[in-house]
Structure 1
Amino acid sequence: MDRARGASVRLKLTLSYAGFLLLAGGLLLTAVWVFLLRHVPGPPPGALRTFAPRAAGVLLFLLVFGLVGGWIVAGRMLAPLTRITDAARTAADGSLSHRLRLPGRGDEFRELADAFDLMLDRLEALVAEHRRFAANASHELRTPLAIMQTLLDVARKDPNSATGEVVDRLYAVNARAIALTEALLLFSRAEQRSFARERVDLSLVAEQAAETLLPLAEKYGATIETAGDIAHTVGSPTLLLQLTTNLVQNAVVHNLPEHGYVWVTTSDGPESVTLTVENTGKELTPALTATLTEPFQRGTEQRIRADHAGVGLGLAIVNAIVHAHDGTLALSPRADGGLCVTVRLPAAPPDR
């Protein structure tokens, strides 16, 4: 924002200090003069001529002292603010690694500096995460495009090649690229919170997601069980359905080879509602579980079925949707193998 240059805060404080000192000195000299008039009998006629120059000298001294001392004191007081301003300009130029770390005991300026350092920590982490996400997304999108280019080159160089096989492979690769693009758009929409909010019952959402994924569960020999209470929250029905669908789909795909189970439950509380999705499967380590919500992290090769590798954004999208709804997401490995995912969202206010 372009602003006309005005007087600095240091100058304003200096003038304020000097003005206050002059006012206090003037009041003191006035009090002294009134005291002399009332309590010293018969002051000589030349007393005013003697007192006035000396009073003027005192006021001049106070003015100079106030200006010099006020300038020095104001500079020392505003030094932390100057450092914060310089750090903000440095951050605006793109450098987020600088930190203030003001020494000394806590006061308003140091609290502001600590809050500024914390903001820079979060901004730096967020920028690094977005850069990593952009790099991973570019890599993931480049892979199917490169495969399609290779297939087209082979088909053009060898007109007698099996056209049907090439078309089938192109169709599969193109479908994967479309799925990845749609997942990226959904991820961006959730992070930007660009959606309308309305009252949603998580128990109905869970039943809908489970019913939609029954054919997939039958294909993998898994059983989906849903139970729980009516749990109302406020948010986007589409995004919350996508969240639940992603969780149930992951639970079905990353399960035992046969006779696997998926449990989907909802519960209602005074301040929050909970959606829990558990599944059987191979044992997971806490270190691996902690990375599953990162974009393009698909876990170990043993957990991924060759015919359903996904695009690596399932739990990342879940995490983004949860945060967009001011909720929390917790992942923990089950003692008997598999994963337990718990989503907590703010409870909707009661109907009136």
Structure 2
Amino acid sequence: MDRVPGLSVRLKLTLSYAGFLMFTGAMLLAVVWVFLLRYVPDQARMSRGDPYVGEPGFFSPSRQDLLHAFAPRVVEMLVFLLVFGLLGGWILAGRMLAPLTRIADATRMAADGSLSHRIRLPGAKDEFRELADAFDAMLARLEAQVAEQQRFAANASHELRTPLAVTQTLLEVARSDRSRDVGELVDRLQIVNSRAIELTEALLLLSRADRGAFPRAQVDLSLIAEEATETLLPLAEKRGITIETSGDITPAMGSHALLLQLTTNLVHNAIVHNQPDGGTVWVTTGARPRAVTLTVENTGERLSPRLVATLGEAFQRGTERIRTDHAGFGLGLAIVKSIAHAHGGTLTLTARPAGGLRATVQLPAP
């Protein structure tokens, strides 16, 4: 936005300091002058002394005489106060506004793309220090978000490039080998295309949850958990996994579709990354005075705390995920985490001592 150039804040403060100092001095001199006038006669007088005691006479000046003597001194004093106020105010304003200069420099560096710079304003805690600390915290969050977005974009590009590269390879092979079975080529292309569509839908869902652009209504997490387990029951039976659900009515505020996706991702993750045969998945919901919880646990291999700490990040996969036929994209738990945050909740992942994973989603109670 173009603005009309004006006086700097330092100059305004300097003029304010000087003006206030001159006003105070003028008021003080005016008060002195008024009190002097009360005891000064209108006309000059010559008092007579007492010759018997040897007291000499003396001259008493008039108000006019006092004015002629006092006025030049008043002008000199006001000029001195003006010069002193301007110089002192300029120096004082510069010292007071020095933190704002550092904050402005950091803002310009951030606008140029340098988010690693920090103000780190020294000194005691005051308004400028609070502003600088708040700006440093904002820069830290922005830097982390930009780094996460860049990493996410790089990973997403890599994941999307894989099916496109596979598709191109299949088409080149089919073009060079005319005798190749077209039906087999179509089937393989359909599989690759379906996987690319699933990845795109997962990315769109993750973006939608991050923006928080969805309607909210009161839902029951226990019913959502039952719906998700019924949907995934055929997959569990195919893999020999038992699903156990429990919990009372668990009211919450949010999007039914997103919370269903959250629960489905957790249950699907627990089924796929379970024991090869005879594993179990426990789905539990509960309500507390200020929060509601959804917990999904599964049996499986022992997981290190270091691995568990990274599973909630986008495109992060455990080694056992890659070896299965449901390798996924590493977005399942990232979507769960994003949906939970969009609803004002949290996702907590912990490794079970006996093996497997425990995922706990906590949402605010309505």
Q: One-letter code of the match for 1:27?
A: M
Q: Where does 1:239-278 land on structure 2 (aligned, <5 Å)?
A: 239-278=258-297
1:1-352 to structure 2, matched below 5 A, reads 1-39=1-39, 43-44=61-62, 45-300=64-319, 302-348=320-366
Q: Give the greater-gyration-radius structure (CA).
A: 2
**Secondary structure of the structure 2 residue equivalent to 1:119:** helix
Q: Distance in 1 between matches of 2:61 and 2:224?
A: 97
Residues 84-134 of structure 1, C-alpha deviation per residue, up to 9 Å, x if partnerless?
011111101111111111122221111111111111111111101100110
How far apart, in 2, do the equivalents of 1:306 and 1:335 lie?
A: 23
Runs of 4+ that moved beyond 3 A: 39-43
1:293 Cα deviation after fit: 0.9
**Residue by residue, what CA displacement relative to the aligned partner does 1:21-47 show, whole Å, maximum 9, x if unpaired?**
011101110111122123567652310
Q: 8 Å contact 2:13–2:89 — kept in the other structure?
A: yes
TM-superposed CA distance for 1:3, in Å, is 2.0
Q: How many residues align?
A: 347
Q: Secondary structure at the match of 2:38?
A: helix
Q: SS at 1:161's partner residue?
A: coil
Q: Give 2:267's aligned amino acid.
A: V
CA distance, structure 1, for counterparts of residue 12 and residue 24 of structure 2 = 18
Verify the 8 A CA contact 1:15 1:70 in the aligned structure 2. Answer: yes
Whole-angstrom distance in 2 between the partners of 1:157 and 1:102: 67
1:160, distance to aligned residue in structure 2 (A): 0.8
Q: CA deviation at 1:212?
A: 0.7
1:144 Cα deviation after fit: 0.6
- Percentage of pairs with the same residue: 70
Specify the code of the residue in structure 2 equivalent to 1:36.
Answer: L
Verify the 8 A CA contact 2:224 2:263 in the aligned structure 1. Answer: yes
Question: Contact 1:251–1:262 at 8 Å: present in 2 too?
Answer: yes
Q: Distance in 2 between matches of 1:7 and 1:237?
A: 56
Paired amino acid for 1:14? T
The letter for the 2-side match of 1:320 is S
Question: Judging changes above 3 Å, is the alpha-carbon distance between structure 1 residues 43 and 314 closer, same or farther for their aligned structure 2 residues?
Answer: farther
The CA deviation at 1:56 is 1.4
| Structure 2 CA distance for aligned equivalents of residues 3 and 283 of structure 1 | 63
Distance 1:5 1:327 in 2: 48
SS in 2 for 1:320: helix
2 CA distance for matches of 1:347 and 1:256? 34
Unaligned runs of 5+ in 2: 42-59
Does structure 2 retain, via aligned residues, the 8 Å contact 1:253–1:305? no
User: 2:281 and 2:322 mapped to 1: Cα distance?
Assistant: 17
Amino acid in structure 2 at the alignment position of 1:28 = L
TM-score (norm 2): 0.92
Question: In structure 2, how many angstroms separate the alpha carbons of the residues matched to 1:87 and 1:267?
Answer: 47
Q: Could you tell me how far apart the structure 2 residues matched to 1:22 and 1:70 are?
A: 12
Give how far 1:233 is off: 1.8
Query: What is the DSSP-based 3-state SS (H/G/I as helix, E as strand, rest coil) of the residue aligned with 2:87?
Result: helix
